[in-house]
Amino acid sequence: MNRYLIPLAIFAVLVVFLTIGLGLKPRDVPSPLIDKPAPAFTLKQLHEPTKQMSPADLKGKVWLLNVWGSWCVSCRQEHPLLVELAKTNIVPLVGLNWKDDPAAALKWLGDLGDPYTVSVVDPDGRVAIDYGVYGAPETYVIDRDGVIRYKHIGPISPDDLTGKILPIVKKLQG
Amino acid sequence: MRRILSLLALLLPLAAGAADTAQPAVDDPVLEKRVMALTAELRCLVCQNQSLADSHADLAVDLKNQVRAMMKEGRTDAEIKAFMTDRYGDFVLYRPPVKATTWLLWAGPFVLFAVALAALYGYIRRRRTATGEPGELTPEQHARARALLESGDAAEPR
């Protein structure tokens, strides 16, 4: 009896570990910035380069920071959803235009619609490094006190939006 | 003769070009060595199985520039690693620190080895008892053996 039980137990443990391993997404690296203050920045606005914007301007509001670039294919995939979200006026959406050509970015927004309350430009990617961005698109949920509460890596699907991001936003909005 | 000379003259710019490429690619080889040594320990998050030093991904180049800039500012390797883990987590380190969430990673191979050793020991012990290897004789067996040896009518071994 024992001689069958032990290999079976070892096999069961292996199956459990491998099943967990299969479910993990190696692309999704947990961010150490969750529940930490959103890194400060002061960046030029895309539409009006003479104006600047920083996270402190949005204190007291729950808001989303979406990292994107006109060169980014997955951003195009999630874009219609962001445009829809913007129409609902539930939450302000700030676009961080990452390592992009401002002219190309403006054309992109002109062609596909502009969901952003305000867009800022990060031409050398220095601010994106502070946010631990490693691939666009990435989206951060930031609370009233300027603390990062959630990070979504990759394009947002309708399920991600209604199942994860919006519930978190609503909870934070109280 | 003149023709040969003019042909040789045509080759001159090539020689000049070769001399150019032989120059060191960076202005500070010592700093560059330090940059490469540290970034070899850091994971490129875009390609994941390459180090920052090996990767040519856009972000890896940016991060290498960041490391270089911080070194020029006189920051220590530990400070730069902390800068990276503050932003990207322990995942950027190819040698993650020992802590509650990583003890399984560090201790796992040794635990497995100990379990394997224990299993092997148990197996060998069980096999020895199962095959009935000769152990100590009881006093009665000793007596009987002596009697048999002394009786003389045991068959002579050939």
- % of residues, chain B, pLDDT over 90: 38
Q: Is the peptide bond before A137 cis (omega within 30 degrees of 0)?
A: yes
pLDDT top residue among B158 and A47:
A47
B100 pLDDT higher than 90 = no
- pLDDT at position B138: 81
- 3-state SS track over chain A: CHHHHHHHHHHHHHHHHHHHHHHCCCCCCCCCCCCCECCCCCEEECCCCCCEECHHHHCCCCEEEEEECCCCHHHHHHHHHHHHHHHHCCCCEEEEEECCCHHHHHHHHHHHCCCCCEEEEECCCHHHHHCCCCCCCEEEEECCCCEEEEEEECCCCHHHHHHHHHHHHHHHHC
- % of residues, chain A, pLDDT over 70: 99
First to last CA, chain B: 104
3-state secondary structure of B94: coil
Cα–Cα distances (Å) from A140 to A14, A52, A165, B88, in that order, read 36, 20, 9, 14
Put simply, whether the predicted model's pTM sits higher than 0.80 gets the answer no
- pLDDT at position A26: 75
B49 touches chain A (CB under 8 A): no
Structure tokens at A115: 């969901």
Provide long-range contacts, Cβ within 8 A and 24+ apart, for B99-103.
Answer: none
Which residue out of A134, A138, A140, A153 would a mutagenesis test of the B interface target, given it has the greatest number of B Cβ atoms within 10 Å? A134
Contact A107, A119 (CB under 8 A): no
Q: What average pLDDT does range B108-136 have in this prediction?
A: 85
Cα–Cα distances (Å) from A115 to A50, A68, A92, A93, B61, in that order, read 21, 12, 9, 7, 31
A148 beta partners = A142
Q: Tell me the Cα Rg of chain B.
A: 37
- pLDDT at position A38: 95
Q: Could you tell me which residues come within 8 angstroms of residue A119 by beta carbon, excluding any fewer than 6 positions away?
A: A45, A46, A47, A94, A95, A96, A97, A105, A109
pLDDT band at B141 (very low <50, low <70, confident <90, very high): confident
Give the mean pLDDT per block of 10 residues along chain A (174 residues): 84 94 82 93 94 94 96 94 94 95 95 95 94 92 95 94 95 92
pLDDT digits (tens, 9 = 90+) for A2-30: 778 888 999 999 999 999 988 888 777 88
Structure tokens at B71: 């070194």
Cα–Cα distances (Å) from A174 to A61, A169, B60, B129, B157, in that order, read 11, 9, 40, 71, 99
Q: Taking Cα atoms as reference points, which of A58, A36, A67, A38 lies closest to residue A152?
A: A67
Give the position of tokens 């920083």.
A54
Q: Tell me the Cα Rg of chain A.
A: 20
- pLDDT at position B105: 86
How far is the alpha carbon of A129 from chain B, nearest alpha carbon, in Å? 7
Q: Minimum mean pLDDT among A90-94, A111-115, B112-116, B145-149: which range?
A: B145-149
Report B:133-152 residues touching A (Cβ under 8 A): none
Give the position of tokens 């322990």.
B90
pLDDT band at B130 (very low <50, low <70, confident <90, very high): confident
Report A:127-166 residues touching B (Cβ under 8 A): 129-132, 134-135
B153 pLDDT higher than 80 = no
A146: left (phi over 0), alpha (psi -120 to 50) or beta: left
ipTM: 0.82
Q: Taking Cα atoms as reference points, which of A38, A48, A169, A41 lies closest to residue A118?
A: A48
Report B:78-117 residues touching A (Cβ under 8 A): 85-91
Q: Say how far apart CA A168 and CA A142 lie, in whole Å.
A: 10
pLDDT digits (tens, 9 = 90+) for B52-85: 999 988 899 999 999 999 999 999 999 999 999 9
Structure tokens at A148: 């990062």
Contact assignment for B62 to A134 by CB distance below 8 Å:
no
